[in-house]
């Protein structure tokens, strides 16, 4: 029996159903696990995604995009292949994609995390025969502290800066990470400002009934500086633009990312303070989800695929890499913001 899923130049492909998962090249039918840049690309003829992911996807693609929305655990059948989406816990609407055909079950994880952030629907562990897993942080070095600890430190940093008359500028991925931070801030220190990209995404969150604290336009701050003790949450792209950060002097620059675990990256980016918080599973989370799948075979799709697949194999799990040169080339040239997850 041929493999239910294959890896080709466009990405993960189910030949029986003629659909791709998060394809990197234009295709006829694409299942989108979530609306981050590395998964949601312009150019596909038809898109399938979770209904909560849909407005974020359309923001990237434009209203003209042909997007079909389904609920979690809702099954659609294509040429005898049953396909369903299940919570991945990564960002709102993020999904694992489950394929079932003639008794064979495959699950493509997409991006996922175990920690519950109070926004994204928590991950649901799925059992299957073959599990295709990410491994962005698939090294023992990557072990996250409790998120409550990180959120408390961000609020403390802001408060300490405010007491010294210093503005706080916090760099975070605009979709998912920024809103996770905002929701957990202790807001009694001052006003919160966000740049235009984050403000647009915040409006979608609020339209979905997700409560976020009141925020102000970053443009207003740079023009009139109404609150010198404020906090600005900005996208990575803002750092590389003439966005008026110089008008906030003196300010302290912080960054929130799993990459902040690596001292050399923090130093290279000249960050005053790095906060380690990721929307991806750490070493413990990856191993927990993979073992919960009870899968006979594990395929590692991205990240630390070489080390992690070898480690799993050495520990009695049938595991190997699932990569292509096209995917690796795209990663090398990925948008800068992609590295802040």
Q: What ranges do the domains of the chain cover?
A: 6-142+279-340, 147-275
Q: Tell whether the model's pLDDT for residue 110 goes beyond 60.
A: yes
Tell which wins on pLDDT, 301 or 27: 27
User: For the stretch 172-204, what's the b/e string if a residue is b when 16 or more beta carbons lie within 10 angstroms of its beta carbon?
Assistant: bbbbbbbbbbbbbbeeebbbbbbbebbbebbeb
Q: Tell whether the model's pLDDT for residue 331 goes beyond 60.
A: no
Least confident of 147-161, 163-177, 238-252, 281-295: 238-252
Least confident of 34-43, 128-137, 246-255: 246-255
Task: Work out the average pLDDT over 63-81.
Answer: 95
Q: What are phi and psi of 7, to 5 degrees?
A: -110, 120
Q: What are phi and psi of 99, to 5 degrees?
A: -120, 135
Where does the pLDDT of residue 332 fall: very low under 50, low under 70, confident under 90, or very high at 90 and above?
A: very low
Q: What are phi and psi of 108, to 5 degrees?
A: -100, 120
Residue 205 neighbours by CB distance under 10 Å? 21
* The residue to which tokens 């500086």 are assigned: 225
CB of 154 closer than 8 Å to CB of 254: yes
Task: Work out the average pLDDT over 96-123.
Answer: 97
Query: pLDDT digit string (tens) for 42-62?
Result: 999 999 999 999 999 999 998
d(CA 128, CA 130): 6
Q: Tell whether the model's pLDDT for residue 338 goes beyond 70.
A: no
- Sheet of 273-275, strands arranged across: 216-217, 192-194, 231-234, 167-171, 251-256, 273-275
d(CA 222, CA 332): 34
Instruction: List the one residue out of 333, 287, 332, 329 whose CA is nearest residue 312.
Output: 287
Q: What are phi and psi of 206, to 5 degrees?
A: -65, -35
State residue 68's pLDDT score: 97
Q: Tell whether the model's pLDDT for residue 329 goes beyond 70.
A: no
State residue 228's pLDDT score: 56
Q: Which residue blocks in 164-195 are alpha helix, DSSP H?
A: 177-183
Handedness of CA 307, 147, 292, 33 (dihedral sign): negative
Q: Tell whether the model's pLDDT for residue 144 goes beyond 90.
A: yes
How many residues are listed for the chain in this entry?
341
Rounded to 5°, the CA angle 157-283-212 comes to 40
End-to-end CA distance of the chain: 38
Of all residues in the chain, the percent with pLDDT exceeding 70 is 90
d(CA 56, CA 175): 9
Instruction: List the one residue out of 156, 225, 223, 142 whose CA is nearest residue 189.
Output: 156
Mean per-residue pLDDT of the chain: 90
Least confident of 129-143, 258-272, 299-313: 258-272
Of all residues in the chain, the percent with pLDDT exceeding 90 is 77
CA 68 to chain centre: 21
Least confident of 43-57, 144-158, 260-274: 260-274
State residue 305's pLDDT score: 92
CB of 300 closer than 8 Å to CB of 135: yes
| Contact partners, residue 174, CB within 8 Å, separation at least 6 | 195, 197, 198, 201, 235, 337
* Helical axes 54-61 vs 196-207, angle rounded to 10°: 140
Per mean pLDDT, which of 165-174, 213-222, 238-247 is the most reliable? 165-174
Query: pLDDT digit string (tens) for 78-108?
Result: 999 999 999 999 999 999 999 999 999 999 9
d(CA 269, CA 318): 39
Is the peptide bond between 250 and the residue preceding it cis, with omega within 30 degrees of 0?
Answer: yes
Q: Tell whether the model's pLDDT for residue 167 goes beyond 80.
A: yes
Q: Which CATH number is 6-142+279-340's, of 3.60.15.10, 2.60.40.10, 3.90.79.10, 3.40.50.300?
A: 3.60.15.10
Domain 147-275 part of CATH 1.10.3210.10: no
Instruction: List the one residue out of 197, 196, 201, 227 whose CA is nearest residue 212.
Output: 201
Task: Work out the average pLDDT over 299-328.
Answer: 83
Tell which wins on pLDDT, 322 or 146: 146
Task: Work out the average pLDDT over 175-191.
Answer: 94
């Amino acid at each position: 029996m041929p493999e239910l899923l294959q890896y080709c130049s466009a990405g993960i492909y189910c030949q029986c159903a003629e659909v791709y998962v998060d394809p990197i090249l234009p295709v006829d039918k694409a299942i989108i696990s979530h609306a981050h840049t590395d998964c949601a690309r312009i150019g596909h003829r038809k898109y399938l995604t979770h209904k909560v992911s849909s407005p974020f996807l359309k923001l990237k693609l434009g209203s003209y995009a042909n997007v079909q929305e389904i609920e979690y655990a809702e099954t659609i059948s294509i040429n005898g292949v049953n396909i369903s989406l299940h919570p991945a816990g990564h960002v709102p609407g993020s999904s694992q994609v489950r394929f079932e055909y003639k008794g064979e079950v495959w699950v493509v994880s997409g991006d996922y995390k175990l920690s519950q952030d109070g926004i994204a629907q928590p991950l649901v562990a799925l059992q299957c025969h073959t599990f295709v897993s990410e491994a962005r942080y698939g090294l023992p070095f990557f072990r996250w502290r409790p998120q409550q600890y990180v959120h408390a430190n961000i609020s403390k940093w802001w408060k300490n800066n405010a007491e010294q008359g210093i503005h706080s500028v916090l760099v975070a991925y605009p979709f998912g990470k920024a809103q996770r931070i905002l929701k957990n801030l202790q807001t009694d220190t001052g006003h919160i400002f966000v740049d235009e990209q984050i403000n647009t995404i915040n409006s979608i969150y609020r339209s979905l009934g997700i409560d976020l604290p009141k925020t102000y336009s970053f443009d207003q701050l740079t023009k009139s500086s109404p609150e010198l003790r404020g906090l600005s949450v900005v996208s990575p792209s803002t750092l590389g633009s003439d966005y008026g950060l110089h008008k906030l002097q003196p300010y302290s620059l912080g960054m929130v990312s799993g990459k902040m675990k690596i001292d050399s990256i923090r130093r290279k980016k000249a960050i005053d303070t790095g906060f380690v918080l990721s929307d991806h599973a750490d070493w413990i989370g990856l191993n927990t989800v993979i073992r919960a799948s009870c899968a006979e075979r594990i395929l590692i799709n991205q990240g630390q695929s070489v080390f992690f697949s070898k480690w799993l194999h050495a520990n009695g799990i049938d595991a190997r890499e699932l990569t292509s040169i096209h995917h690796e080339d795209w990663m090398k040239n990925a948008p800068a913001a992609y590295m802040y997850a």
